[in-house]
């Protein structure tokens, strides 16, 4: 993994816009069912909306019914980092981009085979690059 990307809050705000800034830099959550990426079924790569790093391949995406894009596995072991999140009176595992620290969502141990993991990701934290 290459070096981390660091930018000022103002630079992130200018780049991402307020809605994605709230999610990626302030650990917000988009309203369930609102991301167009929920229904993205083409082959391709989901990359970080903050820095463009590849995070999830389309063949690990599945329909979880949660209203957020869901994957059972990241593209590589060092693509994302985890952190314990005790907000909202719960203990959850937060996931963020290893390169730019942008908040992605949470991972839960109720996913499908082969990993049993459910990466529940804000669509606003991702950009989809279709395979050509």
Active site residue 100: no
Q: Is 121 in the site for Fe ion (CB under 5 A)?
A: no
Q: Render 65-99 in DSSP notation, one character per residue.
A: SSSS-EESS-SSTTTEEEEEE-GGGS-EEEEEETT
Contact between residue 95 and residue 55 where contact means Cβ atoms under 8 Å apart: no
Q: Tokens for 49?
A: 């909306």
Window 38-77: contact mask with Fe ion (x via CB under 5 A): ----------x-xx-x------------------------
Q: Is 104 in the site for Fe ion (CB under 5 A)?
A: no
Q: Which residues are catalytic?
A: 120
Judged by the rule CB under 5 A, the positions of this chain that interact with Fe ion are: 48, 50-51, 53, 97, 99-100, 102
């Amino acid at each position: 993994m290459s070096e981390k990307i660091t930018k000022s809050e103002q630079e992130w705000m200018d780049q991402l816009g307020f809605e994605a800034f709230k999610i990626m830099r302030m650990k917000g959550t988009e309203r369930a069912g609102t991301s167009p990426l929920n229904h993205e079924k083409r082959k391709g790569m989901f990359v970080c909306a903050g820095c463009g790093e590849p995070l999830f391949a389309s063949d690990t995406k599945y329909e979880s019914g949660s209203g957020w894009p869901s994957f059972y596995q990241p593209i590589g072991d060092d693509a994302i980092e985890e952190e314990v999140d005790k907000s909202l009176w719960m203990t959850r595992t937060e996931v963020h981009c290893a390169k730019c620290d942008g908040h992605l969502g949470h991972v839960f141990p109720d996913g499908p085979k082969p990993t049993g993991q459910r990466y529940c990701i804000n669509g606003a934290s991702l950009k989809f690059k279709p395979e050509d």
